[in-house]
Structures are given as C-alpha cells and as structure tokens.
A and B are shown apart, each in its own frame.
Chain A
C-alpha cells in the first residue's frame, strides 16, 4: 500500500515485532485518527491482544487492560469503594460530632475510591490504549453497560458526580466469537477480522519473534503449521503456538524438523489429546506431504515413533 501514514504504522509495528498487513494497518490507522473503538475478532492465538500492546508502545502511551469474564460487573470494571478503609474511617470518626452528611462526604471522597480499568482509562492524563479483552466472555448486561461508555465517554458515580474523559482513550475490543456480540456494540466500532496468517506472513513473524532461528527450520515449521491447520482438529494452533514451538526447537538446538523431534514436542503445538493422537498416527505421511522425508535409519534401529506407527 503506497500511503505514508499506513506504511508508518506498519514500520512502527514491525519495530515492536508485530507484522501488520495492509488490512490491520488500515484498521489501526482509521481507529487512531477517527478515535473510534476497534473491534478485533479472529481465532485464538493470531495476535488480537498483541495489537493493543504494540499500539500502546508505538504511540508511547500506557496500556490499560480489562480482562472480561462471566459475571464481570461494573464494580470490577469501573470503580469500587475501599470498604475496609471506609469502615475504619467510620470507627475513627465515631466520637467526632459530625453530621451524617459530613461523614458521607468524607468516606465517599476520591481518597476511598478504587479505580478499576475503565475509570482509570477515562481519567488518564494522556490518551491511553484501553484493551477490553475477550468481551464475548462477559455477559450481555456488561455489554450494554459498555455501550454508554463507548458513545459518551463519561460515567456517573452517584456519590461523586459525572466523570467526563479528558482524553478519549484508544479502545481495542477483542473477541473469540464464543458468542455473538450484540449489533449495538458492532455498530459503534470499526471492525477487523484477523485470520491465521499465510505462509509468508507467518515466516516473517517467526523470524522477527525468534532470534537466532535457522532459516531452514523456520521455513519447515511454517510449512508444517500451514499443513496442520488444514487438518480437522479440535483446537487449531495459532501463531502463538508456532512461536512457542520455534522457541522450543531453538532451545533444543534443532536445525531441522524430523519425526522424532516433532513427536516429542507436539504438545507445544497441539493442546488436545485427540489432536495429538490424530497427528502422531499419521506423522510420517504428514511430514512427507510437507516435504520432509525421513533419512533412512541404520538397520535394526527402531524409533519410538516407528513403534507407534505399527
């Protein structure tokens, strides 16, 4: 893409070790310049969360992260009063002749306020990157609550009043599509779908993330992964797994893939028993189709995987 601003983003991201293709760079550019939340969806382990981290460091600002889970409510996401301190305060003020109003004012002051990620992001001095991770895990009540925040950039705390954002944060929302997000949320965001990378892109990622990796090994790994994702698996490995595997193989001083080492390290890539069995059963064919044929073994030498195959 011949376009300086977007190329600039790509370069900055690459410096942080994140390979952003045109669609990713464009989405980030538009979200940054038009100050709209960016909804990022895609399979697990393709670098959705990393976008926010890299974005924060490339903008030179802080990352504030809100991890969503079922039952997440506004107390955990927005603010909470420090009840223990409030109780002590009440006890301490017991003998002072204060009116109830005065007491309330003292214990519901900012001193007793615990800021949770959303409030933190609104009151931050410089526009931070707010990462709302795995929003699909939170319940719909929370999603609706978020709508208000994302459109008005303000929240009201009954005891204090309305807090308006001084600097609108850059918002990245991620989702795994474990459930569909509501249309209302989608309408307020820009949308980016990240799929598993193709061979070229994955090779680039491996080479930038894993230092000192042998070029041949990196190529073999990426070809293996590309092939692996075409299989019918329970849990398809993401880029995160590719990187883990590459790192593991480098630590093990491997310079190329062979059946034994793949067999032994398959647990790094596949996280499901059935998947591991499925792949290891047809491992030699699998390696062959990737272009890795086994060297002929000395006579009488039987490998562990050969026993498996029988």
Chain B
C-alpha cells in the first residue's frame, strides 16, 4: 500500500496498521476511534501530531501517553482509547511476525461476538416466556403487593377513588411539586422592590441622567426553572396501576406547569395536551379514544429511544428531572434500554424510577429490564400507594438538587 493512501472505510486493524507513514497511521487510528464513537475532530488530530513532534518516537510509553492525553477527553473515552490503542498499535509494532496470530484472534473475537448475540436472543426469549408463564401469578401478587388492604377491598378501579383520597394524592403531589419548583438559584436578577442593592446597575443607569443616585436597583436570587418529564408504563403488566397513575399524572400536571407526560407500551405517546383537558372522566375518554395500544406489550428501550430522537430537544436539559413509572418488564432489546438510560442519566438532572412492584415485601429488581436500568437510576421508589408517595416526597425534600 503506498504511504499516502488512506485506508478504506472500516478496514480491519491489521491492514489499517501496516503502513509505514506515521501520520497516515495516526489518521487511520483516529478513524478507528471515531468508529468507536470518540468525537475526534481535526483539532484533536493536529494536537496529536504536534504532540508527537515533541516526543522521541522510539519510546512507546511516551507515544502512548501523548496520544492518550490529546485524543481521549474523558474517563470513558480513555477506556475506549486503551482498548483500541492496544489493538491498533501493538499490531503495527509487531505486524509482520504476528499477522497470522492476529487473524486467529480476530476469528476468536468474531466467534465470541456470535456467541454473545446468540445469548442475547436466548435471553429475550426467556424474558418473554417467563412473562407469559408468570403473568397470572404476577397479577395476583401485585394485587396483594400493590395496594394497601383497604384499597383492595373497596375498589380496584382507581377512577372511582374516594374524593378524599384524590384530594390527598393531589395534596402530596402539590407538595412534591413545590419541593421541586422552588429551588432558589444562586444567580441574581434585577428586582424592583426586594433584595440587596445592585450597585452596578444603580451607577450605570443613574449616571445616564444626572449626578444623583435617584432610582435604586436591587437584585434578588432567581428561581430555578426545573422541568420534569414523566414516562408512564401502561402496558398489560401495569394495567392494575395505570388508572391510578393517570390520576398521578393529572395531579402532577396540575401542580407543576413545566412537565411533559408520555405514556408507553409498545409505542410512545405524548399525552400532556389530554391531561389539560378537564375532569378525569373526560381525560380517560380522550386517552382511550386516541391511544390504541393501551395494555399491550412493553418496549421501554425503544420508546425511550423514540423520546430521545423526537422530543429531547424541547424537554430535556440539565434541570430536568426524569420520572419513569414502570415495572421494568421489557420485551424489547435490552441494549436499546441500556443506551437510552445512559443518555437520560447523562443529560438530565436526575432519573427517578417508580416501580409499583417495589412495594411488595421480597421484591428484587431481577427482571432484565430493571437490571439494565438500575445503574442509571438516582432514586428507585415504590409509589404504589399513599404511604410510598409520602416516602417519595420525603426523598425529594432531602435530595441534593443543587450541585449535581
């Protein structure tokens, strides 16, 4: 291969590495890193080349640290870098002697990958069969687990909630809303009547007109604008709870302006407009009329991905609290869920997962969906009855909302 020729897209590390021109190799290496989602631009490449000019190239350790410092810009990126560096440059170092060995190891890697995929498929299969087999038991369990005894004996249908209880839920959610909404920022804004004197503005604005300081300007702390995004699982496995959660969602919508609500089972639906529509009976009618896959299967990962693709720009930023209400039975691909949760955790202020099954005494978050999501969750709560709502409100009041 001539020195100046760049390798074709996604070549194997071996033919990528066996070039003698260092800069061409570096470009190829950057390309490999980019394929592994390191955002390497021209600046980084130039930095790396300039760094290589400063070090003795025969020292492999210097070479490694120089590239690492200039190309990988976070701990995660450094980990990816380490893996790829090993693959790429070690090969280059010993390319001729070990070519065969490497092909072998690649073959192994491919086999490993296939085995992994096979396992994935199997796992999904077991999830579905488990889910189908256990469904009946689960429903029974949930009736015991989910509701306090009085609620079970009175009525299962939460749309027929006693007025008092609805009021109580609303009161708790109001409180949660207040806890979240009234975070004071430490940044200031100009205020007419309250707060400390803002000398900067006093001088600046008064001097324009006269010698005297006549109008006083003050500054007070801004209120932080927190946003919320609420995802409610309305799949079959959550059927018993979904009516309760409709109330939950309506109450949230009422006390908290900055909230966007979605429901999902196999697909994602944006329901904030319906929730603003008036009494609960009308809301229920509206929703059942417009959403056809209510009580279907669950594909949390896909639905969260849809959200990230379509809605995140308007609703998700660092002051957003993400609520997910679901039992974590995911029949979709777990990798999608993993990616989506990672993104949510990275972009939002915190991720709160409420799982009604958690109210059950020996509940273990053992479903694969739940297992996948768990590392990304800041608070994992129950929210199946009023008691758990109280615990939840307590958590929020203690939550260090600042300084994340």
Question: Do A29 and B54 form a contact, CB below 8 Å, given A87-B213, A187-B44?
Answer: yes
Contact, CB under 8 Å: A94 / B211? yes
Question: Do A186 and B73 form a contact, CB below 8 Å, given A70-B402, A83-B199?
Answer: yes
Partner of B65, one of A27, A41, A93, A137: A27
Partner of A3, one of B50, B56, B74, B185: B56
A270 to B186, CA, bound (A): 31
Asked whether any CB of chain B lies closer than 8 Å to the CB of A226, the reply is: no
Taken residue by residue from 214 to 253, chain B's Cβ proximity to chain A (1 for < 8 Å, 0 otherwise) reads as 0000000000000000000000000000000000000000
Contact, CB under 8 Å: B185 / A191? no
Question: CB-nearest residue of chain A relative to B56?
Answer: A3
Asked whether any CB of chain B lies closer than 8 Å to the CB of A291, the reply is: no
Contact, CB under 8 Å: A71 / B54? no
Chain B residues with CB below 8 A from A140, complex form: 318
Taken residue by residue from 192 to 222, chain B's Cβ proximity to chain A (1 for < 8 Å, 0 otherwise) reads as 0000000110110001100101000000000
Smallest beta-carbon distance A195→chain B, Å: 9
Question: Do A179 and B318 form a contact, CB below 8 Å, given A81-B200, A100-B207?
Answer: yes
Contact, CB under 8 Å: A73 / B187? yes
Partner of B39, one of A31, A103, A137, A187: A187
Contact, CB under 8 Å: B187 / A139? yes
Asked whether any CB of chain A lies closer than 8 Å to the CB of B404, the reply is: yes
Partner of B72, one of A29, A107, A191: A191
Asked whether any CB of chain A lies closer than 8 Å to the CB of B59, the reply is: yes
Question: Do A178 and B403 form a contact, CB below 8 Å, given A29-B54, A90-B207, A191-B78?
Answer: yes
B contacts with A, residue count (CB < 8 A): 41
Smallest beta-carbon distance A48→chain B, Å: 13
Smallest beta-carbon distance A98→chain B, Å: 10
Which residues of chain B from 142 to 163 have any CB-CB distance to chain A below 8 Å in the complex?
Answer: none
Contact, CB under 8 Å: A103 / B207? yes
A33 to B213, CA, bound (A): 51
Smallest beta-carbon distance B67→chain A, Å: 10
A93 to B56, CA, bound (A): 65
Question: CB-nearest residue of chain A relative to B221?
Answer: A71
Asked whether any CB of chain A lies closer than 8 Å to the CB of B61, the reply is: yes
Contact, CB under 8 Å: B51 / A183? no
Chain A residues with CB below 8 A from B61, complex form: 1, 22
A193 to B80, CA, bound (A): 14
Asked whether any CB of chain B lies closer than 8 Å to the CB of A304, the reply is: no
Which residues of chain A from 27 to 73 have any CB-CB distance to chain B below 8 Å in the complex?
Answer: 27, 29-31, 33-34, 36, 39, 41, 69-71, 73
Contact, CB under 8 Å: B69 / A180? no
A contacts with B, residue count (CB < 8 A): 51
Taken residue by residue from 101 to 116, chain A's Cβ proximity to chain B (1 for < 8 Å, 0 otherwise) reads as 0011001000000000
Partner of A186, one of B54, B56, B62, B74: B74
Chain A residues with CB below 8 A from B200, complex form: 75, 80-81, 83
Which residues of chain B from 23 to 82 have any CB-CB distance to chain A below 8 Å in the complex?
Answer: 39, 41, 43-44, 47, 50-51, 54-56, 59, 61-62, 65-66, 68-70, 72-75, 77-78
Contact, CB under 8 Å: A83 / B203? yes
A189 to B77, CA, bound (A): 14
Chain B residues with CB below 8 A from A186, complex form: 73-74
Question: Do A39 and B73 form a contact, CB below 8 Å, given A1-B59, A71-B186?
Answer: yes
Chain A residues with CB below 8 A from B188, complex form: 71, 73
Contact, CB under 8 Å: A178 / B78? no
Asked whether any CB of chain A lies closer than 8 Å to the CB of B346, the reply is: yes
Smallest beta-carbon distance A96→chain B, Å: 10
Chain A residues with CB below 8 A from B78, complex form: 191, 193
Contact, CB under 8 Å: A30 / B187? no
Question: CB-nearest residue of chain B relative to A23?
Answer: B65
A178 to B72, CA, bound (A): 20
Chain A residues with CB below 8 A from B68, complex form: 23
Smallest beta-carbon distance B201→chain A, Å: 10
Taken residue by residue from 363 to 404, chain B's Cβ proximity to chain A (1 for < 8 Å, 0 otherwise) reads as 000000000000000000000000000000000000000111
Partner of B73, one of A6, A22, A104, A187: A187
Chain B residues with CB below 8 A from A73, complex form: 187-188
A107 to B50, CA, bound (A): 46
Chain A residues with CB below 8 A from B202, complex form: 83
Contact, CB under 8 Å: A34 / B318? no
Chain A residues with CB below 8 A from B211, complex form: 90, 93-94
Contact, CB under 8 Å: B207 / A104? yes
Asked whether any CB of chain B lies closer than 8 Å to the CB of A26, the reply is: yes
A140 to B347, CA, bound (A): 13
A104 to B39, CA, bound (A): 48
Chain A residues with CB below 8 A from B56, complex form: 2-3
Which residues of chain A from 167 to 199 have any CB-CB distance to chain B below 8 Å in the complex?
Answer: 177-180, 183, 186-187, 189-193
Chain B residues with CB below 8 A from A107, complex form: 203, 207
Smallest beta-carbon distance A233→chain B, Å: 18
Chain A residues with CB below 8 A from B44, complex form: 187
Smallest beta-carbon distance B80→chain A, Å: 13
Contact, CB under 8 Å: B207 / A191? no
Contact, CB under 8 Å: A34 / B50? yes
Smallest beta-carbon distance A236→chain B, Å: 16
Smallest beta-carbon distance A41→chain B, Å: 7
| 16 additional A-B residue pairs with CB within 8 Å, beyond A33-B54, A41-B75 | A1-B59, A22-B65, A30-B54, A30-B69, A70-B186, A71-B185, A71-B186, A71-B187, A73-B187, A83-B200, A90-B203, A104-B207, A107-B203, A178-B403, A183-B39, A191-B77
22 residue pairs A–B, Cβ–Cβ below 8 Å: A1-B61, A1-B62, A3-B62, A5-B54, A34-B47, A36-B47, A70-B403, A71-B186, A81-B200, A86-B203, A94-B211, A178-B403, A179-B404, A180-B74, A183-B39, A183-B73, A187-B43, A187-B73, A190-B69, A191-B69, A192-B69, A193-B78
Identify the B interface with A (CB < 8 A).
39, 41, 43-44, 47, 50-51, 54-56, 59, 61-62, 65-66, 68-70, 72-75, 77-78, 185-188, 199-200, 202-203, 207-208, 211, 213, 318, 346, 402-404
Nearest 8 Cβ contacts at the A-B interface: A71-B186, A83-B199, A26-B65, A186-B73, A191-B73, A27-B69, A190-B69, A1-B61
